[in-house]
């Protein structure tokens, strides 16, 4: 956030931010290709649940174990691969659409007319750190990989890196929500905060006792605001480049090494001359 912008005014104990425009935001989304390799990785995931690997997967295996990979009766392998391609495509589309709220928040933050005061950025940093430390405790290995991908050495460093951008998004969302007079009903809270219904009541009671309930309401309101923005946004879809798809193919090498499989060989064995986006690495 530019330090050339003025600090926001304060009213009723709150900072009041303004936006340069309240028109629908414009966002760009890259739609991933679904390559043969992506399909094989999805198949490998189902096979792992059945304690098998791609090297085990042939017509005899699918005839004997079809129920273990989620199909009611045996089907020819080409038919199963096409089913999986459609499933991966559907999942990719859901993921693509799911990016809209976050991208809208990022685009809206660019319209912020004030800088976020350092104290607010620090508050956001502390909140992020708590959430990141919980993630690290739950899945240490995955968290280390996530840190590596984001070029951060620790949870504290990542929180420090992300806090200014997220604080700006919070400020912009609050300004937009104020402008459209957005309200959150109590029966919406669990869904907006992604809490299971059976856990929500206890979480709300605890928040009220600790004095953090207003913060929960603010978080839910921002989440609702991103959904409003996503519904109204102008979205430009772009097909993923072949280089990007190749890069994803390279990312599967770690799995190949861990599972002792050769995806190129398995692709030739299972897909043969079947048409589709295929990348061969040299």
Distances (CA, A) of 267 to 9, 41, 153, 262: 61, 11, 37, 9
Please write the tens of the pLDDT for every residue from 197-228: 888 889 899 999 999 999 999 999 999 999 99
In this structure, of 10-14, 18-22, 92-96, the range with the lowest mean pLDDT score is 10-14
Calpha distance 38→81 (Å, rounded)? 11
pLDDT of res. 13 = 83
pLDDT of res. 223 = 97
Distances (CA, A) of 172 to 20, 50, 112, 191, 226: 10, 47, 6, 22, 11
Please write the tens of the pLDDT for every residue from 131-179: 999 999 999 999 998 999 899 999 999 999 999 999 999 999 999 999 9
Report the chain's terminal Cα–Cα distance, integer Å.
43
Contact present, 172 and 17 (Cβ < 8 Å): yes
pLDDT of res. 277 = 54
pLDDT of res. 158 = 96
Calpha distance 159→163 (Å, rounded)? 6
Confidence band of 66 (pLDDT split at 50, 70, 90): very high
| Surface-to-core class of residue 4, CB atoms within 10 Å of its CB (0-12 exposed, 13-18 middle, 19+ buried) | exposed
Maximum Cα interatomic distance, the chain, rounded to a whole number of Å: 72
* Strand extents, DSSP E, the chain: 9-11, 14-16, 26-31, 234-239
- What average pLDDT does range 242-270 have in this prediction? 90
The kind and range of the H/E element at 213 are: helix 213-232
pLDDT score of 71 more than 70: yes
pLDDT of res. 278 = 55
Confidence band of 3 (pLDDT split at 50, 70, 90): low
Closest CA to 218 of 233, 202, 209, 207: 207
pLDDT score of 282 more than 60: no
């Amino acid at each position: 956030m530019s330090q050339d912008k003025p600090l926001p005014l304060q009213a009723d104990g709150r900072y009041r931010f303004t936006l340069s425009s309240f028109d629908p935001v414009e966002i760009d989304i890259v739609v991933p290709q679904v390559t043969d390799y992506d399909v094989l990785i999805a198949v490998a995931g189902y096979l792992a649940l059945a304690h098998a690997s791609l090297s085990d997967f042939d017509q005899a295996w699918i005839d004997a174990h079809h129920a273990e990979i989620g199909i009611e009766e045996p089907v020819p392998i080409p038919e199963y691969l096409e089913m999986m391609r459609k499933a991966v495509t559907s999942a990719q589309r859901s993921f693509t659409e799911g990016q809209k709220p976050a991208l809208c928040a990022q685009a809206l933050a660019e319209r912020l007319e004030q800088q976020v005061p350092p104290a607010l950025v620090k508050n956001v940093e502390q909140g992020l750190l708590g959430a990141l430390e919980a993630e690290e405790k739950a899945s240490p290995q995955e968290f280390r990989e996530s840190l590596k991908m984001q070029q951060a050495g620790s949870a504290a460093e990542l929180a420090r890196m992300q806090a200014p951008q997220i604080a700006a998004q919070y400020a912009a969302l609050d300004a937009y929500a104020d402008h459209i007079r957005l309200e959150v009903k109590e029966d919406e809270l669990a869904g907006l905060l992604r809490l299971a219904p059976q856990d929500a009541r206890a979480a709300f009671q605890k928040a009220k006792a600790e004095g953090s309930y207003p913060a929960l309401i603010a978080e839910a309101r921002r989440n609702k605001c991103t959904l409003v923005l996503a519904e109204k946004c102008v979205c430009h879809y772009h097909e993923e480049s072949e280089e990007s798809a190749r890069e994803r193919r390279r990312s599967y090498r770690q799995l190949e090494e861990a599972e002792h499989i050769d995806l190129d060989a398995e692709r030739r064995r299972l897909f043969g001359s079947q048409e589709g986006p295929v990348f061969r690495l040299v």
